[in-house]
Amino acid sequence: MCIMLFVLCYISDSFSWWESFQLNDRYQKFFNWTTEVYSSPVYQVHPKLSVILNETHATTNPPPTTPPGPQYHVAFPQNYHFSLDQADTCKNKTPFLVLMVPVAPDNVEARNAIRQTWGKAEVVQGEVVLTLFMLGLSGQADVEKQQEKIQHENLQHQDLILSDFLDSYFNLTIKTMVIMDWLATHCNNAAYAMKIDSDMFLNVDNLVITLKKPELPKVNYLTGMLMWNSEVIRLNSSKWYVSEEVYPYPTYPPYPLGAGYVFSNDLPGKLVEISKTITPFNIEDVYIGMCLKRLGLSPSSPPDPSQFNDYHRGYNRCMFSKVITYILNSTEELVNFWTDLKKPGSPC
């Protein structure tokens, strides 16, 4: 009965993420003897979107041939395909640091603010730094118009990566794993990478200075603002509510706050690989923590933990000159604070 149920669901086009991982959870124990029936490509792009993607296809990827296997769950990044992939970017240079910014497709304002501020410099402290934006497909009615705009924006800046998952708050785990997949497959020559949200202040100089410290690990390294023994929120009105069915334990493994975390660039490939064996989970930063744990790794505290911050309590030029991250209130704040920080004269 259970098997029938999941086979039926998996061949149906129209089931939600919730259904998928609740099912996953329930039938996980059957994985070992059901892989052979797990054969149809699980997630397909809506036909309308396929046509649009076809038109906007910048690179020709081979059609997906999905072999059977439990790894083909909703967050497994290789279920998705890039229609803009900046394929030459890391062929033409070897970045020391890649800043990967997940951002909503229509949030041009945030992208422009980043392009003017921390995403602007291509060389920081003598090292090549690359800033790229990760976008999924808009759920909006006029997808076509949106795609056109994205193509146009990319012609101008050559910094957009577009994949074919539906871009929504609930799908942030997919977005993060697609970022990891891109790093592993399109930019594995980079030394370090950072996943950083579009509402962040980033003192990119301080980040590069930290990463260049000789004692800093070059592999299996991940740092940021770390959460230890963080309790699972069972209050169903919360944005971070998670049912016991989805995650049965009372606390999460150590994980970096999703707003901004930095890692050695050997990790993306390892995370993608191990994610095949881990039931998808809608809270993306916790999911990274779960993958790390399964890899036998733990995130590291930053050399100076006071440099990774969440919300700021008002702008202070001296303070902003010393930190690496702060979460901001608005895009205007980013531009204003940055402009002030960069004006001549000692900040402290």
Ligand X SMILES: *[C@@H]1O[C@H](CO)[C@@H](O)[C@H](O)[C@H]1NC(C)=O
Question: What DSSP line would sit under 257-284, residue for residue?
Answer: EEEEEEEETTHHHHHHHHHTTS---S-H
Candidate segments 92-100, 123-131, 161-169, 318-326, binder of ligand X by CB under 6 A = 161-169
Site membership for ligand X, residue 178 (CB under 6 A): no
Residues 6+ apart with CB under 8 A from 227: 252, 254, 255, 256, 257, 285, 289
Site string for ligand X, 15-54 (x = CB under 6 A): -xx-----------x--x----------x-------x--x
Candidate segments 87-95, 194-202, 214-222, 310-318, binder of ligand X by CB under 6 A = 310-318
- Min CB(65)–ligand X separation in Å: 15
- Min CB(219)–ligand X separation in Å: 26
Site membership for ligand X, residue 166 (CB under 6 A): yes
Q: Binder to ligand X among 8, 170, 218, 305 (CB under 6 A)?
A: 170
Site membership for ligand X, residue 63 (CB under 6 A): no
Residue that is written with structure tokens 């994205």 in the block: 150
Q: What are phi and psi of 117, to 5 degrees?
A: -120, -110
Site membership for ligand X, residue 247 (CB under 6 A): no
Closer to ligand X by CB, 43 or 247: give it. 43
Closer to ligand X by CB, 47 or 214: give it. 47
Site membership for ligand X, residue 343 (CB under 6 A): no
3-state secondary structure of 84: strand
**Residue 196, both tokens:** 């950083």
Closer to ligand X by CB, 50 or 306: give it. 50
3-state secondary structure of 142: coil
Q: What are phi and psi of 288, to 5 degrees?
A: -60, -40
Site string for ligand X, 260-299 (x = CB under 6 A): ----------------------------------------
- The one-letter amino acid code at 118 reads W
Alpha carbon of 191 to those of 136, 186, 217, 305: distances in Å? Answer: 26, 13, 11, 21
Measured in Å, how far apart are the chain's first and last C-alpha atoms? Answer: 68
**Distance (Å, rounded) from C-alpha 75 to C-alpha 20?**
10
Site string for ligand X, 120-139 (x = CB under 6 A): --------------------
Report the candidate in 139, 76, 154, 66 with the shortest Cα–Cα distance to residue 108.
154
Site membership for ligand X, residue 236 (CB under 6 A): yes
Closer to ligand X by CB, 17 or 221: give it. 17
Candidate segments 89-97, 168-176, 206-214, 285-293, binder of ligand X by CB under 6 A = 168-176
**Distance (Å, rounded) from C-alpha 194 to C-alpha 207?**
10
Site membership for ligand X, residue 165 (CB under 6 A): yes
Residue that is written with structure tokens 């101008």 in the block: 156
Site string for ligand X, 179-218 (x = CB under 6 A): ----------------------------------------
CB 325 within 8 A of CB 202: yes
Q: Binder to ligand X among 66, 168, 298, 301 (CB under 6 A)?
A: 168
**Residue 29, both tokens:** 């124990």
**Distance (Å, rounded) from C-alpha 44 to C-alpha 54?**
14
- Mutual orientation of helices 267-275 and 284-294 as an angle, nearest 10°? 90
Site membership for ligand X, residue 312 (CB under 6 A): yes
3-state secondary structure of 312: coil
Closer to ligand X by CB, 43 or 281: give it. 43
Q: Binder to ligand X among 329, 332, 340, 342 (CB under 6 A)?
A: 329
Alpha carbon of 335 to those of 59, 116, 117, 312: distances in Å? Answer: 34, 8, 7, 15
Size of the site for ligand X (CB under 6 A): 18
Site membership for ligand X, residue 174 (CB under 6 A): yes
**Residue ranges that bind ligand X, judged by CB under 6 A:** 16-17, 29, 32, 43, 51, 54, 165-166, 168, 170-171, 174, 236, 312-314, 329
